[in-house]
Amino acid sequence: MKSIIVSLTTALIVIMGIGLMGSGEESASKEEPSSSEAAPEAAKPKAGPEQYINPIPLPDYLELAGEEVPLHDWDVRERLDKEILSNTYWHSNTIRILKLANRYFPMIERILAEQGVHDDMKFVSLVESGLTNNSMSGAGAKGPWQFMTAAAKQFGLEVANSSNYNEVDERYNWEKSTEAAAKYLKNEYNSLNNWTLAAAAYNAGHGRIKGSLTKQLADNYYDLYLTTETARYVFRILAMKEIYNNQEKYGFFLDSSEKYHPIDTKNIEVTEIKDIPAYAKSLGISYKTFKLLNPWLRTTKLTKRRSGKKYLVKVPY
């Protein structure tokens, strides 16, 4: 009798345990979906951060060298819009150019004024080279104003060649190349009677711009159908002028301490330098410093010219 009671008790306990387990699994199944059911929810991508990149309103009025830009023309507006957007949101490049402009524009402005060239033409160098002295194009144009060999010689620059032992290339001389560029632009203005066309001719050449005006029966740059590079060229100048003159409007906030300042130098007149590294050391400066200040000297020496030509080299003041 006792054994029967024990057996019944054990059976009841087992049955109750199975019931509890069943109810626990049912509860768990209600609270936590199976992995196959949860997968679609887990696979949903999380929402990314919101972006606030706004289009930039174009100015109501714009001019280059006192010549109005026809912003009522839809093509003109869209081409200008493209260049302003490109340079506003190309942050690293535009910030660097604004910093460099603080160093080089005072010198460029002075030389342009001396040559009777409109101040806005300083943006030609900015667009040509990004105000980088050692810039060189695939076509062989060199220096901050991107002179080709023939044009450089035409406007009085000495270019490295076998006759001068490849030692001197004044396309890399900031002052001399700026003077040459000013003469080039003034010649184009005197011929075309328009600074905007003069800037376009600086890029495409006088013959191409003059010929395009004649063939297309046009009298201004904005009505010309040109190659992509020249069609963009003046608009790049306009965009950089607009951004430079209204930096905070376009989101650029540079303190004076963050800009690159002109380097204080003095000139030394020389007719030859037999060993530039040794010469730099005798002046108490490194060869690197001397070369950075005088990039137009292309080798490690300057041979005396039969003509007796004299050169000015820059050293820290």
Domains of the chain, residue spans: 63-147+182-258, 265-316
Task: Using CB atoms within 10 Å of the CB of residue 204, give its burial: 0 to 12 exposed, 13 to 18 middle, 19+ buried.
Answer: buried
In this predicted structure, what is the pLDDT of residue 24? 45
Q: What is the pLDDT of residue 20?
A: 42
* Domain 265-316: top CATH class: alpha beta
Q: Which fold has domain 63-147+182-258?
A: Lysozyme (1.10.530)
Angle of helix 91-114 relative to helix 122-129, nearest 10 degrees, comes to: 140
pLDDT at 42: 54
- Do 63-147+182-258 and 265-316 have matching folds? no
pLDDT attached to residue 163: 84
- pLDDT for res 47: 62
Q: Can you give the pLDDT at residue 173?
A: 97
The per-residue pLDDT for range 228-284, each reduced to its tens digit, is 999 999 999 999 999 999 999 999 999 999 999 999 999 999 999 999 999 999 999
- Write down the pLDDT at residue 33: 46
| Token pair of 197 as six digits | 């066309």
Listed as ranges, residues in the chain with pLDDT below 70 are 1-49
